[in-house]
Amino acid sequence: MKKRTIGSLRVSVVGLGCNNFGTRLDEAATADVVHAALDRGIDFFDTADVYGRGLSEEYLGRALAGRRAGVAIATKFGSAMDDERKGAHPDYVRSACEASLRRLGTDYLDLYQIHRPDPDVPIADTLGALTELVRAGKVREIGCSNFTAAQLREAEAAAPEGGARFVSVQNEYSLLHRDPEREVLPECERLGLAFLPYFPLASGLLTGKYRKGRPLPEGTRISEGGWFADVLTDENLDRVEKLVAFAESRGHTLLDLAFSWLLARPAVASVIAGATSPGQVASNVAAAGWKLTEDETAELDTLLPGPA
């Protein structure tokens, strides 16, 4: 498995998103998926305190027991655990970190990320608390998620002298959602930030399971409804058909294309994809093996143009 850099961290180019743990997967199934990931060379695990209301962190920590030193754990704070536990106030940052450490069964976090901007707390205050955690050895690197380019610039300017600064941003990005190309990716390159795409498979639409004129597969996020179903539009299904034809004409699958296209972006450090079975883990790892040529990338831009 190839590796790329997030600040001082070296992580596998395919990561494991842990948002299914504690919701769609129980503890035993979580362990199966985590162990399959480790066996396939994945050493980057991305979770959040809010996933499964803390169960994702608990299950992940127990699944990694005895193998902690060989992996990088990323987690997040800020999304509402309840009416009290939320946001990015310094006091909460400190308490949220301690709670995540307990649930994960570790004494340090490799990457600690603010899950979303908090409009009620100056980013300088949050960065000050995160700097304390880094200096205390409880956090190695810090990052953010769902930040705009303007918010990235504000955070960079507000970072305390000699203190911690964001080394990564985690936003939605895929062949069907290319908004980061407008401003965030160029800002990442300017500031030297690693970009971590979430929903790289567009909630499953880029796995090849959803095709125009075919019945929906059962037991999937999109078929279960909710906001994930919003991606299942005629326009997106038409795009999927174009992408399938492109990939298959080159002897590859749509899944191969989804991963490899993201990894062709220099700022992308690791493609974080969830999995509900060891088989899905194996497929995700294999999908990253296609190295797109410049001509292929240009053809894709013609086939499905990015943002103007």
Residue type, 206: L
Q: How many residues does the chain have?
A: 308
Cα separation, 60 vs 8, whole angstroms: 23
φ and ψ at residue 272, rounded to 5 degrees: -90, 110
Task: Return the number of other C-beta atoms located less than 10 Å from residue 198's C-beta.
Answer: 19
- Structure-token pair, residue 292: 């797109």
Beta strand spans in the chain (E): 3-6, 9-12, 14-17, 44-46, 72-77, 109-114, 139-145, 166-172, 194-198, 271-274
Cα separation, 43 vs 68, whole angstroms: 10
* Catalytic choice (51, 112, 173, 198): 51
Q: Is 286 exposed, middle or buried (0-12, 13-18, 19+ CB in 10 A)?
A: middle
Closest CA to 300 of 253, 259, 261: 261
Instruction: Give all strands of the β-sheet with 109-114 in edge-to-edge order.
Output: 194-198, 166-172, 139-145, 109-114, 72-77, 44-46, 14-17, 271-274
Instruction: Give catalytic status of residue 51 as yes or no.
Output: yes
Please list, in sequence order, all residues whose beta carbon lies within 8 angstroms of the beta carbon of residue 298, skipping any fewer than 6 positions away.
Answer: none
Catalytic annotation, residues: 51
